Amino acid sequence: MTADHAGNATWRPMAAGDLDAVKAMADRIHLDHPEDMAVFAERLALYPAGCHVAQASGALVGYALSHPWRYGEPPPLNTPLGAIPAGATTFYLHDIALLAEGRGKGLAGRIVAQLASHAEEEGFGNLSLVAVNGSQPFWERCGFRPAMTDALRAKLATYGDDAVLMHREVRRYA
Ligand SMILES: CC(C)(COP(=O)(O)OP(=O)(O)OC[C@H]1O[C@@H](n2cnc3c(N)ncnc32)[C@H](O)[C@@H]1OP(=O)(O)O)[C@@H](O)C(=O)NCCC(=O)NCCS
């Protein structure tokens, strides 16, 4: 098991046995963006290398879900992907979410760096995501920049009014 230490909290790969706890955390954290268990389970099955959980004192305090995708075409929320597309053009961060007790310890920054390294190893040039919950300043701190278009605004309807497509190169130069 690989573990990335932040105080007494660590990231480790997500396992199928974590899915109930991941869904319960998502329901607590993303009150306005509920997703079904099938969505979490499918992402873990399709791309386990992009799925991680944060653990502190034996309890899970957060999770990260990510996978290769087509740049500029973020998948709708609460919808299965079907498959990882051939010729994917971005490494997409579907969600990084921590319970209150897991925040402010550098955990999110650490998993972003870990996922960026993974994406680079897999040959991707960029990372992208849809920022929600007013998280845009956090993502900017991690090197992401807004990349919204009028056409995207309608496509992001499932994410809510404050949703913003953001991207960065896999390597941070700033
Ligand atoms: C956004 C979230 C993942 C950040 O997690 P975190 O572990 O507290 O973040 P970190 O401690 O790793 O912070 C990394 C850096 O970002 C900064 N940061 C964290 N949250 C921030 C925020 N809301 N606004 C601005 N900067 C923020 C930190 O100060 C830190 O900066 P530093 O490198 O100068 O010290 C967490 O608040 C969360 O889970 N929110 C609810 C779920 C959510 O909205 N997820 C994003 C969905 S798109």
CATH code where residue 139 lies: 3.40.630.30
Q: Quick: pLDDT tens for 127-138.
A: 999 999 999 999
Q: Which helix (DSSP H) or strand (DSSP E) does residue 118 occupy?
A: helix 107-121
Residue from 125, 128, 160 nearest 142 by CA: 128
- Alpha carbon of 81 to ligand 1 centroid (Å): 26
Please provide the distance, in angstroms rounded to a whole number, between the alpha carbons at the two ends of the chain: 31
In short, whether 22's Cβ falls inside 6 Å of ligand 1 is: no
pTM: 0.94
| Residue 116 falls inside a structural domain | yes
Is the beta carbon of 98 within 6 A of some atom in ligand 1?
yes
Alpha helices in 55-106 (DSSP H): none
Q: Are 67 and 94 in contact (CB under 8 A)?
A: yes
Q: How many domains does the chain have?
A: 1
Q: Which pLDDT tens digit goes with each residue over 53-101?
A: 999 988 999 999 999 999 999 999 999 999 999 999 999 999 999 999 9
Task: Identify whether 174 is part of a domain.
Answer: no
Q: How far is the CA of 138 from the centre of ligand 1 (A)?
A: 5
Range of the domain at 138: 4-79+87-169
| Residue 104, ligand 1, Cβ within 6 A | yes
Q: Find the 86 Cα to ligand 1 centroid distance in Å.
A: 32
CA nearest neighbour of 127 among 172, 79, 87, 76: 172
